[in-house]
Structure 1
Amino acid sequence: MDGTVLIADDDRTIRTVLTQALTRAGCRVHATGSLAQLLKWVEEGRGDLVITDVMMPDGNGIDRIPAIREARPDLPVIVISAQNTIVTAIRATEAEAFEYLPKPFDLPDLMSKANQALSRRPRKSDPVPEPLPTPREAADPAMPLIGHAPSMQALFRMVARVLNADLPVIIAGEAGVGKTTIARSFHELSDRRDRGLAILTSSDAGEDAIARAADKARGGTVVIENPAGFDASAQARLIGLIEAMESGPDRAHAPRIVATTGSDPQADVASGRLRSDLYYRLAGVTVSVPPLRARVDDILPLAAHLLARAAAQGLPERSLSDDAAAMLRAHPFPGNVRELENMMRRLALTASGTAITATEMREALSQQTGHRAAAPAPVSTVAPTPEPAGVVPLPQVGSRLSDSVEAHLQHYFDLHGDALPPPGLYDRILREVERPLLQVALDATGGNQLRCADLLGINRNTLRKKLTELNIEVTRRRKLM
């Protein structure tokens, strides 16, 4: 590797690590904690590559990229940032940064990107691009799209690349991962943001509603939520709408189509729930959103963000104690980010002090999962201690399972007040029952899957498939056969 690298980061440790690694690789390095000093070096003609942080004491690194390009159009810039949000990725892409890497970054990956940037320096005869305007400020979406996990960073990069492309998009993922928020981001962060946004659901998919959505979103964006849930006639109307927009006289002002689906839209096609001709009209680009359990390291930053947002909305300021944070991180979150958001808002309302305690977190988790974390007390003739307000008591030993399920379901409905719970309740409840059933059966059979399958009365391959689908990890006591 050959060349001079300019580093701007207010973290002395990062400057030292990068300086040592790049020097060993054969580069000359100038490092500073000031964007003003960085820009001065650039204007003096120094450097073949810039590596800059975003949030610096004297400004924003992304905001300085236009000035860098104006002074040195051929100078590549790598952006590194602890602000692991979709907005940061999009702004870095809009500013035409050579690469964007979240902190903490993988050093070999950064070195590889630096080598690519230095190797692709343009020749003197290469055309000089026009300077870019200052990147626009973009507001964070309603639900935080935060993620350091590689899967989320890959998602952010994909969104940034296709944000302003004239291609339909499918956003696939489990319920609660934030698909509708990402769909809105395709509109709110794009060049179409000043035009209309319309959202179509299966509950309002009549011919008039679809036509109104197309008119409202003229030149903007139409979001279709779960097209597999539309009936056959509504799907046919959607196909007609898309064909009219693609070939009609007003096609120059056609809205962009963004659809949200379950985690496997092709399975919906195979089962007949989603028309294949509609699917292929929607699937210009498919973006898959990972479940929260697949990015455990994002749980605590998300929780902190949600608590801070609740405080900004007028709720008490809260933080997580260490014990509460550990319990939260270990939760499987079948409801994904939506479940975490609801839990943080409830804790912001109900916690007794500034720091949320382990006891308060245990109570909140028990309400989320529908069972208490502690084992039930033995049968006694003494009257039970009254439960705290709003908590559904466990049924006494000997009561029917259906009574317990009914009580928890009623409590779940009560939490939504006059509103109904989100659609898809049937499948969510079945999954909530299925998970503990499989876990208890595995424990009872010592982890022997053949015996467990026989106990449950299902095929062993079916059991294996369910363990994978529900992300049930097999411990040493439950060794796979």
Structure 2
Amino acid sequence: MDGTVLIADDDRTIRTVLTQALTRAGCRVHATGSLAQLEKWVEEGRGDLVITDVMMPDGNGIDQIPAIHKARPDLPVIVISAQNTIVTAIRATEADAFEYLPKPFDLPDLMAKANQALSRRPRRNDATAEPAAPSAGSTADPAMPLIGHAPAMQSLFRMVARVLNADLPVMIAGEAGVGKTIIARSFHELSDRRDRGLVFLTSADAGEKSVMQATEKSRGGTIVIENPAGFDQAAQARLIGLIEATETGADRAEAPRFVATTGPDPQADVASGRLRSDLYYRLAGITMVVPPLRARVDDILPLASHLLARASAQGLPERSLSEEAATLLRAHPFPGNVRELENMMRRLALTASATAISGSEMREALSQQGGGRGAPAMQSAAVPLDGVSPVAGQIPADDGPLSDSVEAHLQRYFDLHGDALPPPGLYDRILREVERPLLQVALDATGGNQLRCADLLGINRNTLRKKLTELNIEVTRRRKLM
């Protein structure tokens, strides 16, 4: 790797680690905790790559990108940020950042992106063009938070940013309560169609008059079709007619964009006959899957804090989570996903007896959530939440909390398919989904030391290496950087 890298981050540790890593890779590095200093270096002609944080003491790193590109059109910028929201990803894309990486990030991943940026410069088609500044309409979050640093959520955010203004229908799949409608709304409110109409069509609005008037009401904006599989066959035929009319209309500039929200497996809806295949293929120009909250456990507490802060801004008492309450909340499986979490935080904001929500208050709130067949019972504070005995250090073999939790998740997966069965190959798929996070957590816990990891897991080192290769898990020492 060759080139000069300019780093702007107010965290001294990150500056030091990045400087050492890039220097070892063969780069020359200038690091600063000030955007003003970064701007000076750019104007002086220094640097072949910029790596910048977003929230800096003297400004916003994304807001600085247009000025960087104006002064140096060929200078790539990599954005790193602890603001793990969809708006951050979109604003970084609009500002023409080379890449956006959420904190905490994998150092090898950042090094690979830096190498790509240095290898591909100059990368802009028009070196004299001044990039457009991020639009003002992109700076506000939608009504519900779209927060997440889990890889699946960051991948989703990047995809939304890439196709935000594309003339392409989008299908958003996921369980109930994950925020599909909010993402659908984001496709309108954060896009260049934001000043036009936004129309929602549900099975209750499936009449011929409502469907045929949707285009007129949208005025070239966005039409969101919620759960098209829930429409009867006649209504689905009307939707097909609506889409075809916009595709063949004389004024394509006034054609709306179609965004559909569906259950977690729209292809199963097609196979069962609930969703017409010709409607599915018209709507699934690109399909995005929103992960359930239980698949991104590390996002639960940031989301909870955000929801409590928003409740306070709306006039409810200011609340925070005690350590015990946070531990209990993080262990909850959340079958109702983000919607369940939001309802719970609003209720606790109203009913908590002190500023810090106590463990007993959280335990009571969680017990009121109920649960379906196989739902794990709430545990007392004396019982460890991860199912491991602090005395014996053993995982219960049969009906302990871990076994109950796995059974609950599997039962919910079957329930999501209604009267139909899940797709074939369930055994290998479930084992793979359990095995991958187990190996990743064990590697993180042992600092990437494969010998210690194999000993921890109780397997042969060659077996561990084989599984790492099969699952495409990259092994690095001290994999995460704060």
What SS is found at the alignment partner of 2:246?
helix
Letter of the structure 1 residue corresponding to residue 353 of structure 2:
S
Equivalent residues in 2 for 1:355-394, closer than 5 Å? 355-370=356-371, 373=378
Partner deviation per Cα, 1:384-426 (whole Å, 9 max, x = no partner): xxxxxxxxxxxxxxxxxxxxxxxxxxxxxxxxxxxxxxxxxxx
Query: Residue 66 of structure 1 corresponds to which residue in structure 2?
Result: 66
Question: Distance in 2 between the 1:77 and 1:462 partners?
Answer: 43
Query: Residue 98 of structure 2 corresponds to which residue in structure 1?
Result: 98
Question: Distance in 1 between the 2:400 and 2:433 partners?
Answer: 8
**Post-superposition shift, 1:62?**
0.4
* 1:461/1:142 CA distance change after superposition, 3 Å: closer
Question: Distance in 2 between the 1:161 and 1:18 partners?
Answer: 27
Structure with the larger RCO, 1 or 2 (CA within 8 Å, 6+ apart): 2
Question: Distance in 2 between the 1:130 and 1:287 partners?
Answer: 33
Partner deviation per Cα, 1:30-73 (whole Å, 9 max, x = no partner): 00010010000000000000000000011100000000000000
CA contact (8 A) 2:94 2:133 kept: no
Query: Residue 254 of structure 1 corresponds to which residue in structure 2?
Result: 255
**Post-superposition shift, 1:100?**
0.2
Q: TM-score, normalised by structure 1?
A: 0.78
**Post-superposition shift, 1:104?**
0.9
**Post-superposition shift, 1:250?**
3.0
* 1:466/1:41 CA distance change after superposition, 3 Å: same
Query: Residue 323 of structure 1 corresponds to which residue in structure 2?
Result: 324
**Post-superposition shift, 1:472?**
11
Partner deviation per Cα, 1:432-470 (whole Å, 9 max, x = no partner): xxxxxx999x77xx9xx9xxxxxxxxxx9999959988x
Alignment size in residue pairs = 396
Question: Distance in 1 between the 2:89 and 2:363 partners?
Answer: 35
Is the deviation greater in 308-317 or in 125-134? 125-134
Query: Residue 220 of structure 1 corresponds to which residue in structure 2?
Result: 221
Query: Residue 345 of structure 1 corresponds to which residue in structure 2?
Result: 346
Q: Does residue 10 of structure 2 align to residue 5 of structure 1?
A: no
Question: Distance in 2 between the 1:365 and 1:15 partners?
Answer: 41
Letter of the structure 1 residue corresponding to residue 33 of structure 2:
G
Question: Distance in 2 between the 1:462 and 1:188 partners?
Answer: 36
* 1:466/1:263 CA distance change after superposition, 3 Å: farther
* 1:301/1:130 CA distance change after superposition, 3 Å: same
What SS is found at the alignment partner of 1:369?
coil
Question: Distance in 2 between the 1:462 and 1:44 partners?
Answer: 59
Letter of the structure 2 residue corresponding to residue 229 of structure 1:
G
Q: Does residue 137 of structure 2 align to residue 132 of structure 1?
A: no
Percent identical among aligned pairs is 79
Question: Distance in 2 between the 1:366 and 1:340 partners?
Answer: 13
Question: Distance in 1 between the 2:370 and 2:10 partners?
Answer: 43
Letter of the structure 2 residue corresponding to residue 133 of structure 1:
A
Equivalent residues in 2 for 1:17-166, closer than 5 Å? 17-122=17-122, 127-137=126-136, 138=138, 139-166=140-167
* 1:467/1:334 CA distance change after superposition, 3 Å: farther
Query: Residue 293 of structure 2 corresponds to which residue in structure 1?
Result: 292
Partner deviation per Cα, 1:61-108 (whole Å, 9 max, x = no partner): 000000000000000000000000000000000011000000111100
What root-mean-square deviation, in Å, do the aligned CA atoms of Structure 1 and Structure 2 show? 2.8
* 1:148/1:347 CA distance change after superposition, 3 Å: same
Question: Distance in 1 between the 2:131 and 2:179 partners?
Answer: 32
**Post-superposition shift, 1:212?**
2.3
**Post-superposition shift, 1:252?**
2.3
Partner deviation per Cα, 1:116-172 (whole Å, 9 max, x = no partner): 10111129x975151112212321011100000000000000000000000000000
Is the deviation greater in 460-469 or in 92-101? 460-469
Question: Distance in 1 between the 2:315 and 2:273 partners?
Answer: 47
* 1:48/1:175 CA distance change after superposition, 3 Å: same
Unaligned runs of 5+ in 1: 376-437, 450-459, 476-481
Letter of the structure 1 residue corresponding to residue 149 of structure 2:
H
* 1:168/1:55 CA distance change after superposition, 3 Å: same
**Post-superposition shift, 1:373?**
3.0
**Post-superposition shift, 1:199?**
0.3
Unaligned runs of 5+ in 2: 381-398, 411-420, 439-482
CA contact (8 A) 2:69 2:130 kept: yes
Letter of the structure 1 residue corresponding to residue 326 of structure 2:
A
Letter of the structure 2 residue corresponding to residue 278 of structure 1:
L
CA contact (8 A) 1:467 1:473 kept: no
Letter of the structure 1 residue corresponding to residue 130 of structure 2:
P
What SS is found at the alignment partner of 1:300?
helix
Is the deviation greater in 292-301 or in 204-213? 204-213
CA contact (8 A) 1:55 1:61 kept: yes
Q: TM-score, normalised by structure 2?
A: 0.78
* 1:280/1:352 CA distance change after superposition, 3 Å: same
Query: Residue 453 of structure 1 corresponds to which residue in structure 2?
Result: none
Question: Distance in 2 between the 1:200 and 1:325 partners?
Answer: 38
Question: Distance in 1 between the 2:213 and 2:279 partners?
Answer: 20
